């Protein structure tokens, strides 16, 4: 059981590295700059809250986890 958890953590880590590389080197995805993301500031202070990006990522991860759990049954 612990061996399976270790493999799952490695897979999650590789997935996060892949997503990080995709976000860094594929600016056409516009992740983090979607309409609905709140950004305002003045002078040297800037406030940014990615509401739309958070909702999109939540929906995608929910779908992927749902598909993965259905596939494992």
The domain spans of the chain are 1-30, 32-73
Instruction: Band the pLDDT of 25: cuts 50, 70, 90.
Output: confident
Determine the Cα–Cα distance for residues 53 and 38; give it in Å rounded to an integer.
10
d(CA 15, CA 9): 10
- Alpha helices, DSSP H only, in the chain? 2-25, 51-71
d(CA 47, CA 18): 27
User: Is the predicted pLDDT of residue 37 greater than 80, yes or no?
Assistant: yes
pLDDT per residue as tens digits for the range 40-73: 899 899 998 889 888 988 998 898 888 877 766 6
pLDDT computed for residue 8 by the predictor: 79
Whether the predicted model's global pTM rises above the 0.75 cut: no
Of the candidates 13, 51, 17, 47, the residue with the CA atom closest to the CA atom of residue 32: 51
Spatial distance between the Cα atoms of 19 and 53, rounded to a whole number of angstroms = 14
């Amino acid at each position: 059981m612990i061996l399976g958890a270790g493999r799952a953590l490695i897979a999650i880590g590789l997935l996060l590295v892949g997503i990080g590389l995709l976000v860094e080197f594929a600016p056409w995805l516009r992740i983090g700059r979607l309409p609905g993301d709140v950004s305002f500031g003045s002078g040297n202070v800037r406030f940014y809250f990615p509401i739309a990006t958070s909702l999109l990522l939540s929906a995608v991860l929910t779908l992927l986890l749902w598909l993965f759990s259905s596939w494992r049954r």
